[in-house]
Structure 1
Amino acid sequence: MGSPLGLLLALAVALPDPALLQPCSLGSPPLPLQFADVGADHRVPAHRRAPGSLDPLYGFVQTFLDVIQQNCFPTELLRDAFNDPPSARTSQILQYQTGYIICATIAVLYFVTLPVIGLSLCCCRRHRRCGTRIKAYRRSLLCQRNLLVLSLLLTTLVILGSVICAFAANQKVKEEMDPGVRDALNTLQALRHHVNGIPQGVQQAVEQFAVPKERILHDLSNISWSIGSTIHLVLKGTVYSAMAATKARVQDLQNSCSHLRTLNSTVQSLIRHQEELEAILKDRKGSIVSLLEDPQCTYCISALGRAQNMELGVNYWMVPSVERVLKTLNGLPKANFSEIIHQANSSFNSIPELAVLKMAELIRDLKVEVEKVAQRVQSVAEGFPISDHSRPMADALMKAENSSRPYLKEVKRYERYRWIAGVVTCTVVLLIVFCNILGLSLGIYGLAVRKDPSDYESKGEAGAKLLMTGVAFSFLFSWLLMLLVFSTFLVGGNVQTLICKHWASQEIYKFIDTPGNLPSSMNVTEHLGLKRNLNLTTAYQQCKNGACFWDVLPLEKSYHLNEHLDVAKYTAEFQKRPDRFQIRFQEMVLLNPEGKKDLETFRDSKLDQIDFGGFTAEMRKPVVKTSLVGLAVELEGLSKVQSDRSLAERLAEEAKNLKKIQNMTVLIMEGLVEKLKASVQFLSAMAPGLQALINSTQSQINQAESIVPIESEKILKQELSCFVKKEAGYISQYLNWLRSVLTEDVASCQPFSTALDNGRVILCDRVADPWNAFWLSLGCCTFFLIPSIFFAIKTTKHFRPIRLRLVSTGSEETYPFHIPRVTSLRL
């Protein structure tokens, strides 16, 4: 028992306070809270232009317009135009529009020159002053013809590619115009709804405090039982260990008393049997020795020595007495240890219920405090100072929305006319391209099948007529193409260079912010109700960076959101109440004084002072020095070899008596010795460490009884502290969410910057870019009609028969001509 005792004592010293080993069972991080999506119905979606195949063309148009318009933003010109329109001088306008004037000059020249050239060519052909055939065949004509055909083909392909781009851009403008108008109105409407929905959104966000409130109230309903269970869990090792040690000592006491009584009664029985056996052995020894010493006894000398040694081998009068110890332990245990242990277990196991009772008032106070926190959070919505200041903004948005509706409807109507004109002009260009391609195809085929250059070939003649038809269409519609190109160029180009370019660089915002640039009736800062130290540019930048309305609106009193959403403001009292909470757990009695007195009596009984070695030494001795069974067998053998019948019978009788003694006395004593040995072994093994075990048990009991109330209070304080931190974490999580929702969604002014960006995207990226791509593509077609006309007229001569000149020495006028079979028709 020495080794387990040492291990137990070592563990008792090495292990620290059980309460210090346990982390907070309620101190786990607060679970993430799920809040409703507040303000989702009033958000202003940001628009983006989806990437497309025309993006490179858009970039080229912008670069081209930057070259056309290199002037800065016309601040002075616009200031005069807005404040005093008659004062805006024409020279200022012309100076700013220099690039467009140059383009207009080129357009006018094209608009006038090309129809005039076409009319002149028509008159010339009518009077047959313009040759329609090649008069003489030369070898260089083949190279010239191939070069003309290739040039016309390349020019036609360029026109075809440009008209395809024009078709695509024209359709893109149509596709973007209607949704663009709708998105512009939707943006204004969503922005107005956002402003009007701020109070409702704030109230909805405040009402979401029900989420942490429900979680905190749920935790409060379980906190007292959880803390009591934690105390029970933390301390049960100490208490159960002490109770187990008590049970073991009580069992040792009961077993020791039982073995002592057994040992004492067994020794007394052995002494009685020893006295009886001693008398019997003395009688039998004398009788057997006299028989063996009889001269007539044959072969008896060998058994005589064994018979003479037939004496007791033990003396149980010599073993130590245990009566004093037994008298000391008599009547133990006097205490009802079963009832004591049952009561101790019941008292300890009732700690969770006891904690619920003792913490009931604290839980009620904390629930009341949670309701107060809910009221403080509600005051955030009630004191939110933005409704009165957002009304001018909402009115301005309503006015802008109503006034823009008729203009946007007109834009949609005129866009339809523009689209029809674009389709018609693109179709005309496509018709010219068709004439060129079909004319080239027929003309080349006619040249391939014609054997003699002077021969007439119908397909070649048809190709020449198709080319001249394309030329006629080019002259006929060139003015219409140029008119459409310049009108769309003038509008789209100025929108890009005057509005979109400076909108993206925020030059327009700076112009609006500069005092005196706009009349007082157009003061945007006053219409929007911005702070005096803010203008449109700074407000736009702050809103784009995530500012709130109270950052840009002139509130009577400064509203600091961080102060209103300070966690300490809502959790201070909630955290102080547990600190002020005092609780006293009653002392736990694991072993009453009567039970402790029994253990002390057991310890002081001097059981360890009994000489168990004396018992062991006496038990090792044989009961009889000689073996009665062996002597009986030997006597039986001698009785069989004796000639004297009477002697033989007496030897046999003595052998029988020895067996009877062995069976009736010696075996009984040997059984008692085994019984004695078991008790001696138990007591000798337990006695050396008895005092240490009882002292350790008493120390465990005393320690458990002393630390249970103290550690229970410590654990309760620690768990309450962890609980408060956890619940404060829920409140902090909600306040952080509320701050995020108010600043980034409900009360954010970012939708204003988003609306401005949406306007730029709709006007510039989605409408102006394809609009400008359309006139650029159509303008490319229009200008490439000039080389197309030239190459088509030149190529036509090569598709018709060539006059062959006869070789002669006379003058050219006397040369005879080969007249073709069919005279070619003239255009």
Structure 2
Amino acid sequence: MARAPSLLAPLLSLGLGLRLVLSLPGAGATDCRSFGRAERLSFAPEARVRWLAPRVREQGPLDPLYSTVRHFLSVVQLNPFPAGLVKVLLNEPSSVEVDEVVRYEAGYVACAVIAGLYLLVVPTAGLCFCCCRCRQHCGGRVKTEHKAMACERCTLMVFLLLTTLMLLTGVVCAFVTNQHTHQQVGSSAEALPETLLSLRGLVSDVPQELQAVAQQFSLPQQRVLEELDGIGLSIGGSIYTQLRSTVYEALASVQSLGQALQVSVDHFWALNATLVELQEGQRDLELAVPEHRQRLLIQLREPGCQGCAGALSQARALELGANFSQVPPVGDVLHWLKGVPEANFSGMVQEENLTFNALPYLADFEITNMVRELKNTVAQQPAGLRTLAEGFPGWEAASHWSQALENVAQSSRPYLKEVQRYETYRWALGCMLCSVVLLVVVCNLLGLTLGIWGLSAREDPSHSEAKGEAGARFLMVGVGFSFLFAAPVILLIFATFFVGGNVQTLVCRSWESGELYEFADTPGNLPSSLNLSQLLGLKKNISIHLAYQQCKEGASLWRVLQLNDSYNLEEHLDISQYTAKLQQKLESFKVDTKNLDLLSPAAHRDLEALQSSGLENIHYPGFLVQIQKPTVNTDVEKLAQELGRLAQTQSSSVLGQQLQEEAQGLRNLYQEKVLPQQILVAKLNLSVRALASSAPSLQLETSGVLHRVTYLKEELPTQATLILRNESMCFLARELDYFSQYVAWVREQVTQRIATCQPLSRALDNGRVILCDMVADPWNAFWFCLAWCAFFLIPSIVFAVKTSKYFRPIRKRLSSTSSEETQLFHIPRVTSLKL
């Protein structure tokens, strides 16, 4: 680690300079992706029992029913909100005029008349029907069978079944809405004290909560101190990450250049050595080939040589082809490349890679003292936060606020208990009447089932009429229950309808439209005991509607209640002086970029020698001209085979022996002289072609590397300083983001949770949701479903009475006398009467 300070500057300059040269122009300025975005801090919000969660009725299958009931009530009550009537009712209840109330409630009065008619007519009709049945004047059986009886019976049974299904639908909905109403009334009664408890602490605990919020400034402080411990590793690591691919690519090109240099030099030395051997072999061939040619020409021209014409033509061509003394000279290149390469390019690149990989640790070692100074600056706390709680205005309205809510809570408890008690009675009565309607449905279904069973068994002569009679009696039992409980059903319907309907049309509709707030803001409409400004002890009157809108938008409590204009939250949250010190410290980071050298002196000499050698200027086509020529123009091996064949065909043994010896001599010449020369030519061909293809590009690459090194020497210091400053500013932006998160969190906590009046608007909204959506809607849906059942009880009675006659046995009147006696006849079942 003793070399750390001295190595850091060259390495930073190396990496940053390579990025400058090899990337786009102006790449010296980096972005902030190296540090990434600041993590989200998790601040602990103050635990407050007064915070109200918004209440919303969840969507459900009964929503269409609720909407239908609301539309029905809007038709029943067409009059607008009666501001004058409500004003008189609140201030002087004894002076309320009945005529004015009746005019406003005209729709409900009409419904009351309809309910009264139902209450009078249905029980009276039931009493008359019972008397008639007791005297047997109302038909209880079918007297005679006729052709249209089957059609009448089927029609009545279908209508009775449809009516029963409508009753079943209504009673099921009535059961469900009755239970929903009971549950919502109970939970709503419990929600009122909870709401009042939450509102009581709206102001009293503000200073303590502000102090607790100010203390959480230690959270961003601690995070910044933790990241300052690793700022050196972060900056070095970010530079390493950003420049890794560029630096590795540049070093790889240097290593590739070194390898190409080594390969080219090896090929050149191989070319030179092969050329020397070829020239020596050529001198030997220049002596041996003419001798063989001369002897062959003498022997093959003898008159006794039979079939020697072909061999003679080959012997005439037996002479040297390539002349390697005529190839271009390479002496100058040999002089420049003597001792090249001197440097170990592979080892040099490997050392640079290892040093570059250690960049984060070297940077951490470099800025240790600066980090210590930064920590001392961060450990301080801004002055504005220390006075955040002290500057909050204390006001007298807090006690009035708590006292008013305490009075409301105490006075509401008896009423809430009474509401729950009467709701229990209503729920029990609703369950009982719904059960009666359900019993009517069951009687109708049983009567239809048994009656149809009895009809289908009449074809059997041995059948019993008990099933049909039982079905008829079940239908009549349902009729009896309908007449008996019609009065309590309609009374419960009207009572719940009058209460729930007026709550919906008088309160909920005006509450949702804002008319209630406008009514409360109009002077003189509310009695003095309900004046909000007097209850809170405020010096100025406030508009309830305006205050509600401001609270809903998230306005601060002191602004809505006009308590004090001297408290400026933004002044306490101003930490610009604090952050300016951090910026000043970070800007003092310095990086030394002197003594940067990408290539070692030996490598530099090697590249300059290669550049000056003129390796690319060698006339390689001159080599290829001689290489493409054969070593000997005649195929020596083939000529030797031809001579051996001729030796066996000659009549002269002496000539044959001479040809055989000459053939053997040619074979020896080929193996000892020609074949080695051909191998050397192939080797020379490989080296020449390799140098011819690589020498031009190698010179260009060498020139580029040397140019880069020169350019880096001149430009890297300025660019490295610029990039390091940018990295420091990125780090500063990341750390300041933590403080920005804290400031934003404090602003949100103070304006939206601690010192906000949003709980007021939310309490009003929750009250409307509880009263209108959770209580009034199922309440009104209950009486609507029960009224649905009451309406369909009338056709159920009619169809049940009519249908029961067809389920009883048919009795035929005796025509011989005027007596009322009848005789029972079992009429066989015919096809036309089948169901």
For normalisation by structure 2, the TM-score amounts to: 0.60
Match of 1:340 in 2: none
Match of 2:327 in 1: none
Contact 2:123 2:487 in 1 (8 A): yes
Give the C-alpha shift of residue 799 in structure 1: 3.0
- Shift of the 466–562 alpha-carbon distance from structure 1 to 2, 3 Å rule, reads same
Q: Deviations over 1:80-116 (max 9, x none)?
A: 1111111221112111111111111111111122222
Residue 756 of structure 1: SS of its match in structure 2?
helix
- Shift of the 389–27 alpha-carbon distance from structure 1 to 2, 3 Å rule, reads farther
Match of 1:51 in 2: 59
Match of 2:381 in 1: 373
- Shift of the 479–369 alpha-carbon distance from structure 1 to 2, 3 Å rule, reads same
Match of 1:666 in 2: none
Match of 2:751 in 1: 743
1:102 aligns with 2:110: yes
1:448 aligns with 2:456: yes
Match of 1:179 in 2: 187
Whole-angstrom CA distance in 2 between matches of 1:97 and 1:131: 44
Contact 2:440 2:478 in 1 (8 A): yes
RMSD of the TM alignment (CA)? 4.7
Q: Deviations over 1:462-520 (max 9, x none)?
A: 33332222222222111111111111111111122222222222222222222221112
Q: In structure 1, what residue type is equivalent to 2:788?
A: C
Whole-angstrom CA distance in 2 between matches of 1:152 and 1:722: 82
Give the C-alpha shift of residue 815 in structure 1: 6.5
Give the C-alpha shift of residue 521 in structure 1: 1.3
Contact 2:559 2:565 in 1 (8 A): no
Contact 1:804 1:818 in 2 (8 A): no
Q: Deviations over 1:21-66 (max 9, x none)?
A: 4759999466224132313444311222222222222121111111
- Shift of the 44–68 alpha-carbon distance from structure 1 to 2, 3 Å rule, reads same
- Shift of the 389–435 alpha-carbon distance from structure 1 to 2, 3 Å rule, reads same
Residue 812 of structure 2: SS of its match in structure 1?
coil
Q: Deviations over 1:210-241 (max 9, x none)?
A: 0122234455667799999999999xxxxxxx
Whole-angstrom CA distance in 2 between matches of 1:15 and 1:133: 112
1:66 aligns with 2:74: yes
Residue 541 of structure 1: SS of its match in structure 2?
helix
Match of 2:519 in 1: 511
Q: In structure 1, what residue type is equivalent to 2:198?
A: A
Match of 1:384 in 2: 392
Q: In structure 2, what residue type is equivalent to 1:766?
A: M
Of 808, 820, 823, which residue of structure 1 is paired with 2:823?
820
Q: Deviations over 1:592-638 (max 9, x none)?
A: xxxxxxxxxxxxxxxxxxxxxxxxxxxxxxxxxxxxxxxxxxxxxxx
Give the C-alpha shift of residue 170 in structure 1: 1.3
Residue 800 of structure 2: SS of its match in structure 1?
helix
Whole-angstrom CA distance in 2 between matches of 1:574 and 1:543: 38
- Shift of the 369–115 alpha-carbon distance from structure 1 to 2, 3 Å rule, reads same
1:123 aligns with 2:131: yes
Of 397, 401, 415, which residue of structure 1 is paired with 2:423?
415
Contact 1:46 1:754 in 2 (8 A): yes
Q: Deviations over 1:651-700 (max 9, x none)?
A: xxxxxxxxxxxxxxxxxxxxxxxxxxxxxxxxxxxxxxxxxxxxx9xx99
1:486 aligns with 2:489: no
Give the C-alpha shift of residue 539 in structure 1: 1.9
Whole-angstrom CA distance in 2 between matches of 1:482 and 1:352: 88
Bigger mean CA offset, 441-450 vs 206-215: 441-450
1:460 aligns with 2:449: no
1:781 aligns with 2:789: yes
Contact 1:30 1:730 in 2 (8 A): no
Match of 1:524 in 2: 532
Match of 2:504 in 1: 496
1:571 aligns with 2:586: no
Of 16, 28, 32, which residue of structure 1 is paired with 2:39?
32
Q: In structure 2, what residue type is equivalent to 1:76?
A: G
- Shift of the 137–569 alpha-carbon distance from structure 1 to 2, 3 Å rule, reads same
Contact 1:38 1:204 in 2 (8 A): no
Residue 804 of structure 1: SS of its match in structure 2?
strand
- Shift of the 93–218 alpha-carbon distance from structure 1 to 2, 3 Å rule, reads same
Residue 565 of structure 2: SS of its match in structure 1?
coil
Match of 2:218 in 1: 210
Whole-angstrom CA distance in 2 between matches of 1:500 and 1:524: 21
Q: In structure 2, what residue type is equivalent to 1:425?
A: L
Q: Deviations over 1:753-791 (max 9, x none)?
A: 222222222222222211111111111111221222222
Match of 1:669 in 2: none
- Shift of the 225–91 alpha-carbon distance from structure 1 to 2, 3 Å rule, reads same
Whole-angstrom CA distance in 2 between matches of 1:499 and 1:486: 19
Residue 743 of structure 1: SS of its match in structure 2?
helix
Contact 2:34 2:239 in 1 (8 A): no
- Shift of the 457–382 alpha-carbon distance from structure 1 to 2, 3 Å rule, reads same
Q: In structure 1, what residue type is equivalent to 2:381?
A: V
- Shift of the 206–175 alpha-carbon distance from structure 1 to 2, 3 Å rule, reads same
Contact 2:38 2:735 in 1 (8 A): no
- Shift of the 388–226 alpha-carbon distance from structure 1 to 2, 3 Å rule, reads farther
Structure number with greater Rg is: 1
Contact 2:160 2:799 in 1 (8 A): yes
Whole-angstrom CA distance in 1 between matches of 2:444 and 2:416: 42
Give the C-alpha shift of residue 741 in structure 1: 2.5
Match of 1:143 in 2: 151
Gaps of 5+ in 2: 1-13, 243-360, 597-705, 827-835
Residue 766 of structure 1: SS of its match in structure 2?
helix
Contact 1:184 1:762 in 2 (8 A): no
Gaps of 5+ in 1: 1-7, 235-348, 591-695, 809-813
Contact 2:206 2:755 in 1 (8 A): yes
Q: In structure 2, what residue type is equivalent to 1:520?
A: S
Residue 820 of structure 1: SS of its match in structure 2?
strand
- Shift of the 531–784 alpha-carbon distance from structure 1 to 2, 3 Å rule, reads farther
Match of 2:739 in 1: 731
Contact 1:525 1:535 in 2 (8 A): no
Whole-angstrom CA distance in 1 between matches of 2:566 and 2:183: 48
- Shift of the 557–477 alpha-carbon distance from structure 1 to 2, 3 Å rule, reads same
Bigger mean CA offset, 499-508 vs 190-199: 190-199
Whole-angstrom CA distance in 1 between matches of 2:167 and 2:69: 17
Of 794, 797, 801, which residue of structure 2 is paired with 1:793?
801
Q: In structure 2, what residue type is equivalent to 1:765?
A: D
- Shift of the 434–369 alpha-carbon distance from structure 1 to 2, 3 Å rule, reads same
Q: In structure 1, what residue type is equivalent to 2:169?
A: G
1:199 aligns with 2:202: no
- Shift of the 482–229 alpha-carbon distance from structure 1 to 2, 3 Å rule, reads closer
Q: In structure 1, what residue type is equivalent to 2:558?
A: W
1:701-740 correspondence to structure 2 within 5 Å: 725-740=733-748
Whole-angstrom CA distance in 1 between matches of 2:466 and 2:363: 117
Give the C-alpha shift of residue 574 in structure 1: 5.3
Contact 2:141 2:808 in 1 (8 A): yes
Contact 1:386 1:549 in 2 (8 A): no
Contact 2:387 2:572 in 1 (8 A): no
Contact 1:386 1:550 in 2 (8 A): no
Whole-angstrom CA distance in 1 between matches of 2:811 and 2:470: 19
Match of 2:162 in 1: 154
How many corresponding residue pairs? 583
1:673-684 correspondence to structure 2 within 5 Å: none
For normalisation by structure 1, the TM-score amounts to: 0.61
Whole-angstrom CA distance in 2 between matches of 1:816 and 1:227: 121
Bigger mean CA offset, 49-58 vs 796-805: 796-805
Q: In structure 2, what residue type is equivalent to 1:820?
A: Q
Give the C-alpha shift of residue 449 in structure 1: 3.1
Q: Percent identity?
A: 45
Of 89, 94, 97, which residue of structure 2 is paired with 1:81?
89
Match of 2:773 in 1: 765
- Shift of the 584–792 alpha-carbon distance from structure 1 to 2, 3 Å rule, reads closer
Q: Deviations over 1:551-604 (max 9, x none)?
A: 31213234343343234354345556778x8x99999999xxxxxxxxxxxxxx
